Homo-oligomer: A and B are copies of this chain.
Amino acid sequence: MTVRTPDPDWNPDDEPVVRPPVNPGWLSDLELAEVRGRLPLLYVEAVPVRVDGLGQVTEVGMLLRANAVGEMTRTIVSGRVMYGETVRDALFRHIEKDLGPMAFPLLPASPVPFMVAEYFPLPGISPFTDERQHAVSLAFVVPVTGTCEPRQDALEVTWMTPAEAVTDTVRAELEGGRGTLVKQALASVGALP
């Protein structure tokens, strides 16, 4: 199974909301490939949720996607933080990229993630793997209030109850060990079954 952190960095739709102040810092494919073996890359991830009127999580959103070899896999919102971009801007940009412009996410007031997920090329160092790179991801639970229309390579967003989201079946479909991240997300909001 291919485990990859999505990184559609050079899509023209995908530019940061706030332009980097000095140097755009966009990397070519070749440069990124080069840097990936040298440095940990900084990512943001979001577990999209629906909440009720009291803020309690009722559903978890998962992206369905065909991977490089045509298998269907599930994932969450995920992407790289660019040079000059704030974590908050990156989070907003990737949510819009993956859930569409009508998702109306409620970004958290606190910049502290519910978890720091460390992805290594080789398994066993942490629960998370990414064969392409060493990535460190700041992961947030983000309530969305609008309509999600996945863009780019995602096929659809599936909404599940917390109980459905942590089944072994779903867990096996989540790439790179993100089944554990979804459980940690639900635990952080008191919704782990």
Contact = CB atoms under 8 A, between A and B. Distances in A.
Label chain A's interface by main secondary structure.
Answer: loop
B21 A121 contact: yes
Contact of A83 (B53, B134, B188): B134
B81 A136 contact: yes
Contacts of A125: 18, 21, 86
Copies of this chain? 4
Contacts of A110: 114, 141, 188-190
B108 A55 contact: yes
Interface string A125-138: 11000000010101
Given A88-B54, A109-B55, A109-B143, A83 B39 contact: yes
Interface string A69-88: 00000000000011111111
A146 interface: no
Interface residues of A, number: 63
B120 A88 contact: no
Contact of A37 (B23, B56, B82, B115): B23
Given A39-B41, A55-B108, A187-B187, 6 more contacts: A21-B121, A25-B38, A35-B39, A40-B85, A111-B115, A184-B187
18 contacts: A21-B120, A21-B122, A22-B121, A23-B37, A40-B42, A40-B82, A40-B85, A51-B109, A54-B107, A56-B107, A57-B109, A84-B120, A86-B126, A87-B136, A111-B116, A112-B115, A187-B187, A187-B188
Interface of A: 18, 20-23, 25, 27, 31, 35, 37-42, 49, 51, 53-57, 81-89, 92, 106-116, 118, 120-122, 125-126, 134, 136, 138, 141, 143, 180, 183-184, 187-190, 192-193
